[in-house]
């Protein structure tokens, strides 16, 4: 099967994409290379970036407006379309339409990846941007349901993952990034 990466727009065989069971075709929208590049950018930013650069990264450099960014945040933590429409004050159809846009898809991939990376890395001292995002939602979302959801996600993702990593001694489950892989990636960055 040939698939087009939503970031670099190159066509390539499906082996070039990571697995994501929640996607229709079973693969991530972004190719492995693009993900690796962004991860590298993320490390660099966390280590050497200015506050302003981090802020910009966190907001995303895609051409999306405030409401669309907000929708991405909410989608990335699994908020339902109905709740999103209510929270943002738009129709459900608008949420569906936005979801189909490439820019939105790319931002969602980014946030999903960020959520994985920063929750895993929170325990080894990396800047938890996804955590900041969840905290923002927990404190500032209009609807109580969304606030509650964000708080639950925070507790669930961040704290339980942190504990899991501490306890697992590298015997991580399939979905999580193992300590070895993390070290490997960090070395790779150091040598870059």
Residues that bind Zn ion (CB under 5 A): 5, 7-8, 31, 34
Residue 108, both tokens? 């969602």
Return the DSSP state at 190: H
- Pick between residue 106 and residue 138 the one whose CB is nearest to Zn ion: 106
Report, in Å, the least distance between residue 35 CB and Zn ion. Answer: 8
- Pick between residue 8 and residue 159 the one whose CB is nearest to Zn ion: 8
Pairing type for strands 11-13 and 17-19 reads unpaired
Report, in Å, the least distance between residue 3 CB and Zn ion. Answer: 10
Residue carrying structure tokens 């993900």: 35
- Pick between residue 31 and residue 117 the one whose CB is nearest to Zn ion: 31
- Pick between residue 27 and residue 126 the one whose CB is nearest to Zn ion: 27
Report, in Å, the least distance between residue 102 CB and Zn ion. Answer: 12
In sequence order, the 6+-apart residues with CB closer than 8 A to the CB of 70 are 87, 88
Report, in Å, the least distance between residue 88 CB and Zn ion. Answer: 29
Q: Write the DSSP string, 23-75.
A: STTSEEEEEHHHHHHHHHHHHHHHHH--HHHHHHHHH-SSS--HHHHHHHHHH
- Pick between residue 16 and residue 186 the one whose CB is nearest to Zn ion: 16
Question: Cα-atom radius of gyration of the chain, to the nearest Å?
Answer: 17
Report, in Å, the least distance between residue 16 CB and Zn ion. Answer: 8
In sequence order, the 6+-apart residues with CB closer than 8 A to the CB of 154 are 131, 134, 135, 138
């Amino acid at each position: 099967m040939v698939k087009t990466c939503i970031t670099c727009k190159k066509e390539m065989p499906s082996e070039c994409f990571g697995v994501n069971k929640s996607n229709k075709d079973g693969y991530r929208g972004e190719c492995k290379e693009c993900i690796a590049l962004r991860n590298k950018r993320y490390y660099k930013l966390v280590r050497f970036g200015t506050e302003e650069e981090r802020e910009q990264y966190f907001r995303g450099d895609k051409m999306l407006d405030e409401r669309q960014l907000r929708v991405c945040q909410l989608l990335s933590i699994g908020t339902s379309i109905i709740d999103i429409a209510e929270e943002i004050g738009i129709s459900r159809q608008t949420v569906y339409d936005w979801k189909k846009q490439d820019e939105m898809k790319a931002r969602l991939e980014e946030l999903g990846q960020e959520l994985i990376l920063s929750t895993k890395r929170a325990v080894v001292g990396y800047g938890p941007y996804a955590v900041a995002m969840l905290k923002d939602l927990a404190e500032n979302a209009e609807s109580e349901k969304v606030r509650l959801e964000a708080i639950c996600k925070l507790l669930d993702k961040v704290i339980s993952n942190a504990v899991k990593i501490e306890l697992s001694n590298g015997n991580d489950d399939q979905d999580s990034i193992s300590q070895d892989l993390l070290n490997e990636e960090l070395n790779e960055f150091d040598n870059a």
